[in-house]
Structure 1
Amino acid sequence: MRLWRVDDVMTRDVVAVQTDTPYRTVVDLLISRRVSAVPVVTRFQRVVGIVSEADLLHKVEAAGTDQPRLVVGRRRRAEQAKAAARTAGDVMTSPVVTVLPSLSVAAAARRMHHAQVKRLPVEDELGRLVGIVTRGDLLKVHLRTDEDIRRDVVDEVLPHALGTPDSTVRVETRDGVVTLRGRVHFRSAAERIATLARQVPGVVDVADGLTYDVDDSMIVGSDLGTPFGVA
């Protein structure tokens, strides 16, 4: 089963700036391109940071305020430095979390959540910027049609879990929810079908209505079931 990857959903035509790009130019780019952040790269297209609207707003927030406090914490000092920024290098957030195009959409979502960021620059194997993926991009996986999702379950999940394309399993999909009905021989096969179906790109949930003849999760020697693979 093919999982969706970052390069299936990322934006390839990504605008980037360099460390010496003036503050005003960065603002103009964000507004004209209707984006909320831009990567900062070297002349070799290696990502060294990222500038977001939040970074740029420190200058707006600081305008017209009173004199700086005599004692400030580390975070406050960083905010003051960004408020005084003149270039992208002064205001950027660094280091930046990046991903490879081959990373799965699910793994990218987990990385984004763990790092508490809204976007991830995408680099190739040589560390060069090739795109950017946002939270909105990751949600594109749920634009797949119900028929596409059902086809993946029928053509890929069932043969993989059962070892044969023929089965009594019925699959219905509505609004991304996959409903499984039918009877299989082993409990492990029923559980594997449901598990793999949940991994199909675009699946919202799985309503597992499968039943089975043999509970092969039981211990060896039990009269109630036979372990999978044991005659």
Structure 2
Amino acid sequence: MEEPTVADAMTHTMITASADTPFKELVGPMVGHGIGGLPVTDPEGRPIGVVLASDLLTKFEFRCGDDRPPLWSGGSPQRRWRKSCGLVAKDLMSQPQTVKVTTTARVAAHKLATGNHRMLCVVDKGGYLVGVVTGQDLVRLMLRSDSAVRHAVERALIAVAGGTAAAGVGIDVADGVVTLEGSIPLRSTVLSIGHAVHRIRGVVLVRSTLRYEMDDLMVTGL
């Protein structure tokens, strides 16, 4: 069943930093390439941190020395102040947030939305950095033609319901909105179709008026 993963969205060609990369060598790539952060890797290529533009902005927010916030201001201002004194990546970086290359886009989106992260480091089975993914990368997955979405829906219907049952389903796709009409023998299959179509890359919304001939969930007690 088609469901996009971070491998479909991630940036493979990355600019990385080492722990000792100087401040201005971090700024240069961000400005020159229009990116919001750099992964920091160890000599073997495993992510050990991420330097974001917000980490560099502490140089404007604070001036290392007399501008230290009062102790009662809490941990976050203190951490930002310490970063304002940083000279190399290891002084500025935050803890990396990693996902495996097989992680679904849905899980990655949840992590970005709920964890206040700007970038996820994508790692392989050995923990080596193979890419980075941002919210913008995931949103780009929605850029898919209606015809391609329709073909994917047709394949999903056949996989879930079988060719004979799928032939009785009418499909319309407009601006990523999928409309399903018709009749399917079993209620469980109708529900499975809905779940499968929602997972297809490029689907914005599913509108289903599919009917079923027998409520097998009621019969089995599920």
Alignment length, in residue pairs? 220
Q: Aligned-pair distance for 1:48?
A: 0.5
Counterparts of 1:42-191 in structure 2 under 5 Å? 42-63=42-63, 67-72=67-72, 73-94=74-95, 96-155=96-155, 157-165=156-164, 166-191=166-191
TM superposition score normalised by structure 1: 0.88
Q: Which amino acid aligns with 2:80?
A: E
Gaps spanning 5+ residues in structure 2: where? none
Q: Aligned-pair distance for 1:217?
A: 2.8
Contact 1:97 1:115 survives alignment (8 Å): no
Contact 2:2 2:199 survives alignment (8 Å): no
Q: Aligned-pair distance for 1:47?
A: 0.6
The higher-RCO structure (CA 8 Å, 6+ apart) is 2
Q: Which amino acid aligns with 1:122?
A: V
Distance 1:149 1:184 in 2: 21
Distance 1:55 1:116 in 2: 14
The alpha-carbon distance between structure 1 residues 206 and 81, as it changes in their structure 2 partners (threshold 3 A), is same
Q: Which amino acid aligns with 1:80?
A: W
The alpha-carbon distance between structure 1 residues 194 and 118, as it changes in their structure 2 partners (threshold 3 A), is same
SS of aligned partner of 2:40: strand
The alpha-carbon distance between structure 1 residues 158 and 39, as it changes in their structure 2 partners (threshold 3 A), is same
Contact 1:100 1:123 survives alignment (8 Å): yes
Quote the RMSD (CA, aligned, Å): 2.0
Higher CA-based Rg: 1
Gaps spanning 5+ residues in structure 1: where? 221-226
Distance 1:69 1:187 in 2: 61
Q: Aligned-pair distance for 1:8?
A: 1.3
The superposition leaves residues 40-65 of structure 1 with CA deviations (integer Å, 9 ceiling, x where unpaired) of 11111111100001000001111499
Q: Which amino acid aligns with 2:143?
A: L
The superposition leaves residues 175-194 of structure 1 with CA deviations (integer Å, 9 ceiling, x where unpaired) of 11110011122222222222
Q: Aligned-pair distance for 1:113?
A: 2.2
Q: Aligned-pair distance for 1:218?
A: 2.2
Q: Which amino acid aligns with 2:79?
A: A
SS of aligned partner of 1:217: helix
The superposition leaves residues 89-130 of structure 1 with CA deviations (integer Å, 9 ceiling, x where unpaired) of 101112x11112221111211222232212111112222111
The alpha-carbon distance between structure 1 residues 104 and 71, as it changes in their structure 2 partners (threshold 3 A), is closer
Contact 1:144 1:202 survives alignment (8 Å): yes
Q: Which amino acid aligns with 1:176?
A: G
The superposition leaves residues 65-92 of structure 1 with CA deviations (integer Å, 9 ceiling, x where unpaired) of 9643453432222111101111111011
Contact 2:62 2:68 survives alignment (8 Å): no
Distance 1:52 1:194 in 2: 39
